[in-house]
Structure 1
Amino acid sequence: MKDTFKHQGLRQQLVNTIKEKGITNDNVLKAIGKIPRHLFMDSGFLDHAYQDKAFPIAANQTISQPYTVAFQTELLQVEKGHKILEIGTGSGYQTAVLCLLGATVYSIERQLELFKITSKFLPKLGYRPKKLIFGDGYKGLKEEAPFDSIIVTAGAPMVPKALLGQLKIGGRLVIPVGEDVQTMTLFVRKGPKDFEQREFGEFRFVPMLEDKN
């Protein structure tokens, strides 16, 4: 598992690319600049690891476009020590970004194959989420709630009520909502039943799967 000067140089170019697209949070940019994305992909894709594109991984899933990862992370307003629930561990790349930002991360993956790969792989690279869970993201993680923020990394046809209910007051849910094309949506919990909702344009994600447990 090598991370060479060439990889580091390519990462810096990637950081410049997502900066030009509008990402301004310094900590997010530093995390993207530090994490060896090529190690999260099949070796055949090494040449493409630092392009700002999504790529296929195991179980017919994808590793998200770096800009999308940075965009969602920026919306979360992560602070050190924040307790964050991630729905869709996938390759573990987004998980690594959150860990590097100092968050306490709980992550749920619905694909057993990916769950097995990522739960072994992340600690090898030094990224240690508090908990990786194989299960149904629609249900969230009630026993660990409430969370400072929740991030969903797959396209949800609707907003799961369970996730809204597991946010702290002031907590943020970032979720792409829609069938074929998704609208990036931010919910901020203002009170027990009061949520502020904002939309941030169209994105494309693999669909969020359910009915696992």
Structure 2
Amino acid sequence: MTQSKPPVAQDSKDYVPASPPQFSEAEKHGIQNALSHYLPNELLCTRAAFGGSRLTYVEGWRVISIANQIFGFNGWSSTIKDTNVDFVMSPDNRYSLGLSCTVRVTLKDGSCHEDVGYGSIDNAKTKAQAFEKAKKEAVTDGLKRALRMFGNALGNCLYDKEYLKQLGRFSVQKVSHSSVSYIHIIPQTSKWTTPLPTSLAY
């Protein structure tokens, strides 16, 4: 019986790593168009911030949902690059801590953005509870900050102060174009009058 020869190791000098899959030109156009849209008012939340002001934000689950629709469920991924504990205090058997983490978002073609998120908690009953809450908060914050660098539809519009001033003046209308239904944002200025597909708005 003839024995097969073991495979010969490939010379590292001849090895060419496989290039990452690319978005088609049609996909690139669709992604760029979708990312340019400003988020309508009904997708946003507000909460109290420092000095009695209000902070406008988009929830983490919604940003992930929009990213899945724009890039595809297998068109992007996220990676936690590092985590740093800034402080831990435990007076009277209560735990307060703050930590930061760096999150990178990578598209299937290799393009990526990363940013730092922060999480904190005061007076948690246990150390495990404190770390669980702070880490989840930091990762979600970092993910949202990294995703928003791709465009308005993923939260970058929330850093536009003029847009935030106009939010309370928006009216929302549903209009139809061909076989696709859109939500159209109608502010007093014409800057944000591009339609956002309702598939991104659930």
Query: What band does the TM-score fall into relative to the shorter chain?
Result: under 0.3
Taking CA–CA contacts closer than 8 Å with sequence separation of 6 or more, which of the two structures ends up with the larger relative contact order?
2
Which is greater in Rg?
2
TM-score by length of 2: 0.26
Task: Compare the two structures and name the one with the higher strand fraction.
Answer: 2
TM-score (norm 1): 0.25
